[in-house]
Each structure stands twice: as C-alpha cells, then as structure tokens.
Chain A
Amino acid sequence: MHRTLTRRAAVLVAVSVVTGASGLSACGSESSNQPSAGGKVAITVTGQPPSSQAVERKIFDADVAEFEKLNPDIDVVAHEGFMDPKTFSAKLAGGQLEDVYYVYFTDPANIIARRQAADITDHIKDMAVIKQLQPALLDIFKDRNGKIYGLPTANYSMGLLYNRALFTKAGLDPDTPPTTWAEVRTAAQKISALGNGTVGFADLSKNNQGGWHLVTWAYAMGSQIAKQEGEKWTADFNNDKVKEALRLLKEMRWTDNAMGDKQLLEATDVQRLMGAGQLGMYLGAPDNVPVLVKEFKGKYEDYGVAAMPGGQGTLLGGEGYMINPKASPEKIKAGLKWIDWKYLAPDRIEQRVKQYLDEKQPIGLPAVPTPDIYTGDTRARQAELKTRNANVPEQNFASYLDGNTKLKGNLEPPNAQQIYAALDNVMQGVLTNKDANVDQLLSEAEAKVNSALAQVK
C-alpha cells in the first residue's frame, strides 16, 4: 500500500512538473473506493457545464438532484469540464480521474489500448438501450476482442455550415445551399467579391484541427485515411481523391482569393469570423450554430447547415463516457446507471425536450438536447418530437439531414490525434504556400502517418 502510494505520488509529481501544475493538487482524492456515509455509493462524474453556461448548468444540476432522488443509494459528485488530454494522465496517476469520464470519439481506442478504462461488457448486458444505439458508435468503444469499455452519448456528422445572410447579400439562394464542390467554389467567389474583408470559405490548419478537416475532406471525396490488413494499419490517403480536394482548396485560396489572407486558423477563429458576419462557409457540425448565436448574439435564422458536398461521404465524430479502471464494481454499476439515465434513456427524450423549451433553448437543430445516436423506433419517435416542438427554423438544416441519409459515415482513424498532427502540415502547405507541392506534402504526411499507425495496438 505504502509503495503504491509512494509510486503514485512520484508519478504525479513527475507529471505535474512537466505540466507546470502544482503537485499540491494531489491532496485529497474524491475518487476513493470507500462507500460514502450511510451505505451510499458516491461517484464522481465529468460533464457538468461551467457556471458561465447558466442554462446548461441549471439543467445538469437539476438532473443530478432528480437522479439522486430516484436513486437514494447513489451520490453523484459532479465535476465541471469535459475531456482534457493535457490533464488526463496526471489525474489518473494521482487518483483524481473521475469515476465516469467524458471522451471524444478520437480517444477511446488509445485509452482502451493503454488499459485506462474499465471493461463494462458484463455490466451492460441487461441495459435495454444498447439495442437502440447505432452499432457503429458502440464499436468505437470496443477492443478487438469485442469487449466494451464505454458508451456513446452524442454523435455528429460534418457538414457545410453557411451564413444565410451573406448568401442572400451575394445573390445566392440560401434555401439551396451548395451540393457539389464546384458550387461551393462559385459561392465562395461570390461571397468574397462582397469585399470589406469578407471571406467566402475558410478552413482550419492548426493544432491538429487542420488534420481533422483534411480527414473530413478525404471522406467527402470518397477516400479513406487508413486501411487495416491483418493486424497492421497503413496510410491510405495518398491518392487522386485527396489530391483533388487539395487542388480545390489551393485554387480557392490562391486563384480565387476566396479564403482570406489569414491562415493557421482554429475552430474558434472561424466561429469568430462567421459570428462577425465576415465568413460565408466552413466545414463544421450543427453544434456550432448555438455557439455562433449565443457567443455572437446572432439569430438562428441567419445560419444553415448543408450536408457535406460531393455526395460521397462524411466524417462521424462525437462523444461518450468511460469508466475509471480503478473504480469498484459498485461504482461501475452506479456510473452506468447515471450514463443510461442522464444521456441515453429513450423515455427521457420528451422530458429533455421540455426542459430545453422551458429554458427557451433551441429545439429543431440536428444537435442537443436529443443526440443522434439511436436507431429504430427511438430514432423515429425522437424525430417526431423534435419536429413537433421545433422553435428554430428546421428547414435551415433540412438539407443536412436529407443529405446525410445518402452519405457514407466514416469514423475517425486510429491514433487520430497523431494522424491529425501529421496532416496539419498538408493543409498548412496548401493554404500558406502558393507553390506548395501537393505530391510531396502527401508523401511526407504518409510517412509520418505510417509511423503513427505502427503504434496502433
């Protein structure tokens, strides 16, 4: 015991010194496996919205209170925040990682390979909702032996987010957004021709987000990123389809001058541009729309989301929850009960819609409060409920929903973050260097991605 504690403290100090964080934060773990007073099981959970998001926080806290009332033997200790890869290992090493923790779809594969999540296969055998979840989303949380280590709670597909007001101003019809890349290019030219620093189309190229978007482009063109042969993964993007995407980006950037001068952009940069009414289009998911409206005091009427142009495919992303590998069986059971009740239970969809309506939150977007994770009856009932209660112009997102039924949804590649880092470079090359050699950029990226894929376990 003492040795374990010493080792844990030592590792935490090492990690905290690297992070620059104070080692003092190691004191007092809430994640103890001791049952709390009165025979209750106490579980720590992430996902509590920050207090700056007053409405979301209020709904979350009300849910915690209601869950505890329904389950008097469970004490939910909510922690603010979502997944932060920077602190994940430090928290795990120091015994500070929550019992139920949030993950993006990019992370489960690595977390499972490193055995940093609890095996919940046996615990979810009797969970009815599992049969209603999209199988592809559940696969993200499985290892190669079919064991399950987490549950998906939200899903998105990338599409084309566009500014309807700018479309109208540029003489384009906002009700018929572009469906081909040629139409995207033409629309970008018309919007940037408005002048005054208006940008027709913007794309990301920094801090792994460029790589994430290039993967989206590859899927949109019908390419893959990686292929598996036996146990071995190799890169699968150095082809004509991806070259076509890069040629198009290069032409929009340098020939049409429709992508603005400033590059090395991140998601927040394009949101700021769009929120300020200076950007016509970017690739994104519908969950960007509430951000644009809330942070930039915009109107839902001014934004639309179309399906990924080209009709080939799109990237599926999302989030879910996993359980601390050090959690006791009681905590795992309580944690899964919480995930099921809070995020998945089909019989709570109506209540969630009502909560959002009461708080004057948007209903009708292809995003929260009803996640796109279901199949079958639940999916149909959810769609009907949303349409009946919509308080935002649903038709602005209709082409996204219609188009997605025809697109191939591709999941993020294994070792996604390393691949994204390597592909950032390709996006940067095309967007910052007029004379960029696309063949060379892709070959260099292929070597890096193969090096990253060689680590996949």
Chain B
Amino acid sequence: MPSLKSSEAPASTGSREWPVEAPPAVKTTTRSRRKINDNLTAYGLLAAALVVFALFSWYPIVRGVLLSFQEVNFVDPPQWVGFDNFARLFADPLFATAWLNTLQFTAIALVLGFAVPFVTAVLLNELRHAKAFFRVAVYLPVMLPPVVVAMLWKWIYNPGPGLANAALGSVGLPESAWLDSSSTAMVSLVIVSTWANMGSTTLIYLAALQTIPGELYESAELDGAGLFKRLWHVTIPQTRFVLMVLLLLQVVATMQVFTEPYVMTGGGPEDSTVTVLLLLYRYAFTYNDFGSASAMSLLLLVALGIFAGLYLRLTRMRSED
C-alpha cells in the first residue's frame, strides 16, 4: 500500500511551517498502519470469533429477552404481551418450588462441592509418592459424559440391593431410598454432581496450592505448626482469592443444574428436585410456551448476573492489588 509522503499533503497549504512539523505525524500514521498490518491476522481471527459469538451467543440472549415479553407460535408474527409471561410464571405453584429447590441444591453443592475438592487438593499436595496416579484418578470422572454419569449413579442408587445401599450396610448403616424419597433425592443428586465435577476444581485448587512459597510452610513447621495449623494459617490465607472466585463460579454453575434431575428423577419425587432449569425446559419443550420459558431464563440471568458481577468486581480488585 503506498504511504503518504511528507511532500504531498502539505503542498497545497502553502505554509512553510508544514514540512517541519509534518514528519512526526506521518511517522505516527505509518507506525499505526504497520501495527494494524502486523495485527491483521489477529483481527481477522477475532472478527470471526466475534461474529460467531454475536450470532450464537449474544443475539439469542437479546432475542430471548424480547421473547420474554412476547407470545410466539412460529407461524404468525410475535404478539407483544407485556408482563403476561412473568405473571403466568408467578401464578404457577411450581415456580417458587423450583427456585427453593435450586437454592437448596446450590447450598448443599457449595458445602460438598467446595469442601471436598479443597480437602482432596490439600491431600494431593501433601502426597510424596504416586502423585500422578492420584491426580488422574481424581480427574477421571470429569471425562465421563454427564448423562453417562447420571445413568451410572442411577444404577448405584438402586433401592434395595444397589451398590450405595451395600456400602451403607458394610458400615452398619440402614438402607436409604436415595432418589426414591423426597427427603434424600436432592442430596443424592448433589453427591453425583460433586463426584462428577470435583476433578476440575481440585486441579485448580492444587495449582493454587503449589504457588504458595515453600518457605512459609518451612517457617510454620519450624514454629511447630501441624497439618491443621499450616492449613489454617498458611494455605487458606494464601489461596483466599482462588477460593472466593471458585465459590462464585460454583454458585453460577450449580444454579444451572439440569442434567442430574432431568435424567435421574424427572423432578420427583413430589417435585423435590424440580429446578429452575428443569421447569424452564418443561415450559419450552413440553408445554411449547417459549415466552414463559424465556421469561424464566431472564429471571435466572438476572440472578446469575448478580454473582457474575461479584466475580468481576473481585477479579478487578485482585488485578488492582
């Protein structure tokens, strides 16, 4: 591409000052163009990614927001119905149940899904031998497709002679109905979810643990600190940020629980495992009411947006540190 020469542009101005001042400006233009040229491939690739995001992520979100206020039959033009879809949701007795169940799942999942991987990571970090084997073993369930995990656990939870009841029996505990009782179904689902997803979280914790300078532990040991004191005074403070970020990410992920209740309980028994996404799915694909389903997803988006905002704020605070 021909670049602008210093003698060309100013000639028409007739000003004698120009040639003197011009070179820096021309230089800047050339440099920025070169920069653009250098990054052209990157911009091209980014543009492609942006187009894909716009088409398959952002546009559906915008369309979903519009659908929340519309009635659609995919034949006639959409009808604007104001807040009717939201009113319908609020009138559905299952709506409140679904939110309460989701919050219950999230709360139990945080206790289990937060603590178990952290403890596992600490144990893995303390290992002296066979580290690779145990890391792979912990990560393996992540590689199973979620539906396979759900089917596998359905078999484990089989009432009566199932593996889970055999395990309880071996330590002298009474049998449980697991998925077949409204008092145990939700916890049973959380156990599955925790088992299936803890591998990834454990590895992140492990990575965070390994960034802790060894001298801190050495000093603590010299001061006579045991495993629990080292954990409390060194490990937890040093991994505080990672713990917080994962906590928030886990809230966002667990509030979108769907596969486990869909495959394993269908929302039962007695609606005890109907979650927000499961109800949303029913509205969309059983009742074919896409307006109400979109309204529900908008409400979930707002709820999750609060946690996502917290996450962003936290990461910004960290980068400012």
Measured CB to CB, the residues of A under 8 A from B are 7, 10-11, 13-15, 17-19, 23, 85-86, 88-89, 92-93, 110, 114-116, 205-208, 210, 261-264, 266, 325-326, 415, 417-418, 421, 424-425, 428-429, 431-433, 436, 441, 444, 447-448, 451, 454-455
Contacts and interface: CB of A to CB of B under 8 A. Distances in A.
Interface string B56-96: 11011001100100001111110000000000100111100
A29 to B, nearest CB: 14
Contacts of A11: 63, 72, 74
A441 B73 CA distance: 33
Contacts, number: 123
B290 A425 contact: no
Interface residues of B, number: 44
A86 B74 contact: no
Given A85-B286, A425-B270, A13 B60 contact: yes
Interface string B259-295: 0000001111111000000000010111111100100
Nearest to B88: A455
Interface in B91-136: 91-94
Contacts of B180: 261-264, 432
Nearest to A263: B180
16 contacts: A13-B60, A17-B57, A18-B60, A89-B74, A206-B265, A262-B160, A263-B159, A264-B266, A417-B286, A428-B182, A429-B270, A432-B180, A432-B270, A433-B269, A448-B92, A448-B93
Contacts of A110: 287-288
B270 A433 contact: yes
A442 to B, nearest CB: 13
A264 B154 CA distance: 11
A111 to B, nearest CB: 9
Given A14-B63, A92-B74, A447-B93, A264 B269 contact: yes
B288 A432 contact: no
State the majority secondary structure of interface residues on A. Answer: helix
A116 B63 contact: no
Contacts of A431: 269
A266 B269 CA distance: 13
Given A18-B284, A429-B270, A451-B93, 14 more contacts: A10-B59, A18-B290, A88-B288, A89-B288, A206-B268, A262-B159, A263-B159, A263-B269, A264-B268, A264-B269, A266-B266, A444-B93, A448-B93, A455-B289
A423 B155 CA distance: 26
A330 B67 CA distance: 33
A447 B181 CA distance: 23
A202 B179 CA distance: 17
B191 interface: no
A13 B55 contact: yes
Given A89-B288, A421-B282, A13 B63 contact: yes
A283 B178 CA distance: 26
B156 interface: no
A424 B74 contact: no
The 5 closest A-B pairs by CB, nearest first: A428-B269, A432-B269, A14-B63, A17-B60, A93-B74
Contacts of B265: 206, 264
B177 interface: yes
A18 B67 CA distance: 12
A266 B265 CA distance: 11
